[in-house]
Structure 1
Amino acid sequence: MNVKSDYPVLEKKIDEDDNNVGWNDIGDYEIGQTVPYRYRTAVPNMNGYHSYYMAFQDKMDEALTFDPSSVQITISDGTKTYTLANSEFTVAENVKGLTFEAAIANLKAIVDREFPGGMNTNGENTYGQSIEVTYNATLNDKAADQTGRPGFENTVRLEFSNNPDSDGTGDTGFTPWDTVVAFTYKIDGLKINNHDKVLEGAKFRLYSDADCQNEVFLKKGANGYIVINRDSVGGDDHTGGSRPADAVEMVSDAAGKFVIFGLDQGTYWLKETQAPDGYRPILDPIQITITPTFTSDRDSYVDGQGATDAILKDLQAIATTKQFLGGADNTKTEDLVTDVATGTANLTVVNHVGSKLPVTGSNATIIMLAAGAVIGGAGLYM
């Protein structure tokens, strides 16, 4: 019998879709967004075994919802890629203290059948083919309770055959756990007038584009409004899909507050759809850009680091508003006060009182007003 002399090594990654980062150990997402994960290992030397057991054992934060139908396992030698049939592996949820386990009962039988090129007359094979496992989870509503640090971890280890005994199956061993992390953010909104009086009843919608065509759906939560990413309603991140039945407009409460939970990094546009009683609505959307700063070493995450400043180092947010006040067109860009620990950006939205016109942000308004004055003046002398 040829005794096994090498052991598999497992690598886990998360797919960050922002800034062309791709597969690494760190990501951030909206609530409701699909979060892609990947494991990679190699087929070990299985000579000396009659059968070989391999199982991927995964634990994920409760803010992540696993999609068992998304699991796919492929084996490749660089020339040929074989995707395992559903009958060739099992996915078991909530077993052994795990979120799930994806197990291959006899890896040796599959590899020897699909990659027989290295087989010799003694029934030995040249192994080392790559194994890749991919699957998805969804960032769920529980993420609203934990924006910012410490993030939402997902960790995996590999159980594998070793030390073959007389029946050629052997015992099993384990690789170390390998962990990745995801984050999400929030906006604490406050609606006031230009005399610092809080305003109740202002209504808002959030968009992912400057033209305000692609709404970021929100539903009412216990402490504010929770993002419903379009991945969850048949779309693709910020486009497509069906409007969910529980999607609502945001409304500032009696304290003037509205809170948005579960935002990704990037740019959003906040549009006031209805002003409080006695005020005219802000016509131009407020542009808000959220920018986290992560460690430059995105491939060496260690369990628990998300709670420290080693990974999510800083959080910045910028808001740009357009105003037409006192006959002048004014654009204001300001750095928002943020709290990286809670993943919070604080935004104050102001309605002006008195004779000042509300925000319009368009030079066309000046032209229209001037034209109106000319027309009105002409009428007086006719």
Structure 2
Amino acid sequence: MTQGVENKNNFSGLSGLGTISIQETKAPEGYLLNSEIYVIKITSTNDGSEFVYTYNQPKIPETLLTLDIVKVLKGKDAPISGVVFLHTDSKGNQEEVTTDEKGQAVLKGLTRGTHTIQEKSVPDGYTKNLGVLKFSVDENNKITLLENTATDKTGTMKFTVREDGTAQLHVEDVLAPYQLIVHKVNDHAKVLEGAEFTLYADKDCKQELQKATSGTDGILRFEDLEVDKKYYLKETKAPDGYQIPVNADGSDIVYEIYTKSDPQKDLFEYYVNGKKYTDATGDFAITGTKADREVNLKVVNPVGMKMPETGSPWTVGILLTGLGLIVAGYVMMIRKGKQEDEEK
């Protein structure tokens, strides 16, 4: 504190003798500096034997040095509750704070030295932000950012020091990814091995993302797909002995895959070609857990589109038909030749 005294040179009973100005010049550790100037008057009284000089000692409020944490969904600023942050100070002491229903938490009374902040856990349905943030508090309780390793992929961490000396950390989380599971069968419910599907980022199926081939169980998987993003899927290689199904006009069959999620409301929706599915069973089932969602798609190859197998009656029939056509053509050529000779 600094003190300034202004003498008035007036010593009459109950008169003002002067003033004292008081101002904080260094705050205690963990508190903000109070810059207000307090002006106090000095008075005196005479009880007949001596003068008594008095003034009222001011009560100066202190404000804690804090870091406010705000947790939101990436791209939407929707608050996320139940996120646990781990705070480590320069002495290795640790504390945990959890965001409330507004997505907010606060660290109070920041001590001097280096501090580290990182997410410890997130509710099911979100991906933990992997960023680590470090900042320092100096002898004057000034906060300075030292390091921020967060990336846009798993959400940014924006650190701001306010004009009053406190700080705010704005942290994003992304929604947990999901899996697309394709079940390949024929219309007699027989699983089909060797079907290749390709996943694309665009409707024209030019930007290839992933390929997968069905195993002996007829199943293939596409992993780490983003919620709120459209994907396009089509069969690019049929199982042995089958043809790739097409639309009535001969164009490729393309499946548009899209999902929506709100873990705070326990909501997950799955769309195929614009139609919503929410059931846990069936050809378009949603399975897995809230933390690890799976969406399913059954794709059927009609037996009628099956290529004939070598040595089957169909194969013999085709061969005989072809042979008959060849013989018929040969006979016609001979007859035509004879007719031309007779005309000559």
Q: For the pair shown, which has the larger CA radius of gyration, 1 or 2?
A: 2
TM-score normalised per structure 1:
0.41
State the TM-score, normalized to the length of structure 2: 0.46
Q: RCO greater where, 1 or 2, for CA within 8 Å and sep 6 or more?
A: 1
